[in-house]
Amino acid sequence: MKSVNHLICIFVLSLVFACGGGSDSEPEIPIEPPPPPLTRSFKMGFTPWVFDATLAAFDTTYTRLSTHGDIIKHHLEGGIPWQEALDSTDYHDNVEAEINDRLTRTAVGMDIFLAIDAINSGRDSLTDNWSENTGEARSGDWVDRSWGSPEVITAYTNFAIDMINRFQPTHFEYGTEASELLLNDPVGFAEFVIFANAVYTSLSALYPDLKLMTSVSLKTPGNAEMQLIEAGFSPLMAFTDVLGISVYPYAFFEHADKGDPANLPSNWLTQASNIAGSKPMAISETGWIAEDLEISDFQYSETSDSTKQYLYLLELLEDSQVENMEFVIWWTVTDFDELWNGLLAQDPTAKIWKDIGLYDENQQPRDALNLWDEWLGYDYQSD
């Protein structure tokens, strides 16, 4: 927006020219230079979570990711090919197929944030096996192994090295939402710190320029869970270059009328700096529902709409700029009603995120997409 002074200058100049100009002795009227281009401190992107289990949905999703982002989060969360990674033998063909599909579809020139879960989806145990299918139960000797087992550390590190070499990420997360493990199993978390020490030491030696990450799942500021996280997460920060932030306040905060971002606590995001200290931070995943959400299985009900989604995104981006985040990942670009009604069989947990897309289930852009693209158009300038 042009300043008032700038508009006055233009008005005065127009009068001068209309009157044929002044004498040579008249001073020139200075014209205010245009404002500098707006900048952002963070990269912006999504995960390639699809809205339907079809090739067309994959094609559309990856096109949107390259159109509306400059970073992509590849999150391998279905397990580790434990025995193959330990023995350095070939993975199952299905493992290779998913890896190669992700690599082939990722647009050239996009930064990659790679996350490989060592913690299971329940955030209370070692992650599953990945072979013919993701999420396979660990079997044989792997049933009783945990993060401190030398075999687990070696297998995970081997797999991570292979994936880092293939994906060439700028950031690598090995401890997704490790704060949940701290809450669910403090003894297991202590063992995970041993695992983190070994993995971090190996990977940082091999890839000194790669930023290694763990992440926290934010709760209501000051509540009992956040107090435990702030008190207990610090041992893991010794093996963390950038602290990732997973935050979905409409679902996992406790304040009234959570579906309205106007009710967010003032320190809803800045509380993460209590954990990160002087280390940088990044939004490893977030989103906001653009429709009312009711999940009877969880006795959960909140009202929201596309305007509230827009307002959350605005606050997220402005606060991320203030906090100098390294990137912002909005979890899914499109509502996945079709996937939820089909392959996901209306899973109640998945419903939490079903309507957070910047495109709705009818493939129409929401208002928040315009805001997102406006910020994407700002010049990216890192420190």
Residue 99, pLDDT > 50, answer yes
Residues 233 and 251 grouped into a single domain: yes
Residue 14, pLDDT > 90, answer no
Residues 240 and 111 grouped into a single domain: yes
pLDDT for residue 37: 66
Angle (CA) 32 35 38, round 5°: 180
Residue 9, pLDDT > 50, answer no
Residues 20 and 86 grouped into a single domain: no
**pLDDT of 44-53, one tens digit each?**
999 999 999 9
**pLDDT of 145-198, one tens digit each?**
999 999 999 999 999 999 999 999 999 999 999 999 999 999 999 999 999 999
**pLDDT of 119-139, one tens digit each?**
999 999 999 999 999 999 999
* Count of structural domains, the chain: 2
Residues 20 and 101 grouped into a single domain: no
Residues 225 and 88 grouped into a single domain: yes
Residue 27, pLDDT > 90, answer no
**pLDDT of 280-328, one tens digit each?**
999 999 999 999 999 999 999 999 999 999 999 999 999 999 999 999 9
For residues 376 and 116, what is the distance between their CA atoms, to the nearest angstrom?
A: 26
Tokens of 379: 């010049």
Tokens of 206: 């091999």
pLDDT for residue 283: 99
Name the least confident of 4-13, 70-79, 184-193, 277-286: 4-13
Share of the chain above pLDDT 90, in %: 90
Residues 144 and 84 grouped into a single domain: yes
Residue 16, pLDDT > 60, answer no
Residues 191 and 290 grouped into a single domain: yes
Domain extent, residue 164, equals: 41-380
For residues 264 and 121, what is the distance between their CA atoms, to the nearest angstrom?
A: 27
Residues 134 and 219 grouped into a single domain: yes
CATH of the domain at 145: 3.20.20.80
pLDDT for residue 305: 98
pLDDT grade for 382, boundaries at 50, 70 and 90? confident
pLDDT for residue 127: 98
Mean pLDDT, rounded, for 220-242? 98
Residues 31 and 64 grouped into a single domain: no
Residues 279 and 319 grouped into a single domain: yes
For residues 280 and 303, what is the distance between their CA atoms, to the nearest angstrom?
A: 34
Residues 20 and 72 grouped into a single domain: no
What interhelical angle do 55-67 and 93-105 show, nearest 10? 40
Residues 370 and 256 grouped into a single domain: yes
**Residue 239 to residues 13, 59, 179, 190, 249: CA-CA distances in angstroms?**
61, 37, 14, 13, 27
